Amino acid sequence: MTTTVPVRLGARSYDVVIGPGVREQLAKVVPRGARQAAVVTQAGIELAVDPDGHFDTFTIPDGEAAKTLATVEELCRGFARAGLGRGDVVVAVGGGVVTDVAGFTAATYLRGVALVNVPTTLVGQVDAAIGGKTAVNIPEGKNLVGAFWQPRAVLCDTDALDTLPPREWASGFGEVAKCAFLSPRPRDPAPGNELTQWNLEEQVSWCAVLKAVIVSEDEREGGRRMLLNYGHTLAHALEAVSLAGGPVDLRHGEAVAVGLVFAARLARRLGRIDDDRVAEHLAVLGHFGLPNALPAELSVGALLEFMARDKKARHDLTFVLDGPKGVEPVRGVADEDVVATLLAMGAVP
């Protein structure tokens, strides 16, 4: 069974196609007139794709360490040597690292060439490959250099998930867990713990619909799209600590899971939600086997510094928190409440 989810952005609209074997539709979604394709992937990704024409394959390193401007430069130079033109296409085949790097490269090479995403991980299929946010990291923080660049299509081939290792499943389920507390439209209820009872394709489809509707309303994160950052302020700080050589060994979705607990506990401290709602967050994370505590020996100061850098291009520390109206951005949270919540989760002064 195949599910098609439209992302409605006027002339930049495209479809997210979900189901087994949908990578075989790649030739249909490559832009007309494209004579050449650049397939960006990683070693060990064995999903075969055929853009139906001449293509060159470019392999980038694994992990967050690959999300650098140096990798973007190497790809651009490779594209130039291969003769990739403005009317051609970049095809990203891989997880969130691949779609982030390939997407940012497509956005900047020749001032922008077409992009098609073929995500091969759960986190890619439910989040990273959809919505047009592309970025790489710098030592000062995660995803601080990037661009909004919408793909021409996203092909979520669920067959690609069959060989995922356990940590990659965990990374994807962190994003799925986030979506349990969000809804596509303000008055619609979020599924909460009910989402854990759905099958995998239903969960992937829910996440895709959620993101598609919100991105269609707010492409560049000026309003409702900020909701998709639920759990991410602390998550990105944890990832930044790891990139800086700190004592953190968490995949993206695992960091999001810890960030969800932090957000729930901060909301509880502020009187926005009750203990039962915090317990529901913990129950959803427990169902997916996700972590719910901070790694040991993390300092409050380091986490606050990186959270401030992850302020989403705004000059305040904005948190996305649950509340009586559902999840929403909250500004003006007192530092002492943030510090107290981090200390309660095991951070050190």
Q: Annotated catalytic, 287?
A: no
Query: What per-residue string of b and e applies to 243-262 under the rule 16 or more CB within 10 Å gives b?
Result: beebebebbbbbbbbbbbbb
Q: Annotated catalytic, 142?
A: no
Q: Among residues 23, 252, 265, 268, which one is catalytic?
A: 252
Q: Among residues 23, 152, 232, 265, which one is catalytic?
A: 232
Say if residues 278 and 205 touch (Cβ distance below 8 Å). no
What are the residues whose beta carbons fall under 8 Å from the beta carbon of 208, sequence distance 6 or more?
Answer: 3, 5, 16, 18, 125, 126, 130, 156
Residues 60 and 105: their CA atoms lie apart, in Å, by: 12
Q: Annotated catalytic, 232?
A: yes
Q: Annotated catalytic, 32?
A: no
What are the structure tokens assigned to 156, written together? 């979520």
Q: Annotated catalytic, 67?
A: no
Q: Among residues 142, 229, 239, 268, which one is catalytic?
A: 229
Q: Annotated catalytic, 236?
A: yes
What are the structure tokens assigned to 113, written together? 């060439």
Q: Among residues 175, 219, 239, 254, which one is catalytic?
A: 175
Amino acid present at 204: V
> Whose CA is closest to 133, among 103, 173, 112, 168?
103
Strand ranges (E), the chain:
3-7, 14-19, 36-42, 54-60, 89-94, 114-119, 133-138, 141-148, 153-157, 319-321, 328-330
Q: Annotated catalytic, 305?
A: no
Q: Among residues 219, 221, 239, 254, which one is catalytic?
A: 221
Say if residues 171 and 254 touch (Cβ distance below 8 Å). yes
Q: Among residues 142, 211, 224, 268, which one is catalytic?
A: 211
Q: Among residues 67, 142, 224, 236, which one is catalytic?
A: 236
Q: Annotated catalytic, 111?
A: yes
Q: Annotated catalytic, 252?
A: yes
Q: Among residues 133, 142, 178, 268, which one is catalytic?
A: 133
Q: 3-state class of 144 per DSSP? A: strand
Q: Among residues 32, 81, 111, 331, which one is catalytic?
A: 111
Residues 337 and 18: their CA atoms lie apart, in Å, by: 41
Strands 36-42 and 54-60: parallel
Q: Dihedral sign, CA of 259, 260, 263, 269?
A: negative
Q: Among residues 225, 251, 268, 281, which one is catalytic?
A: 225
Q: Annotated catalytic, 225?
A: yes
Question: In this structure, how many other beta carbons lie within 10 angstroms of the beta carbon of residue 46?
Answer: 10
As a whole number of Å, the end-to-end CA separation of the chain is 52
Active-site amino acid positions: 111, 133, 175, 211, 221, 225, 229, 232, 236, 252
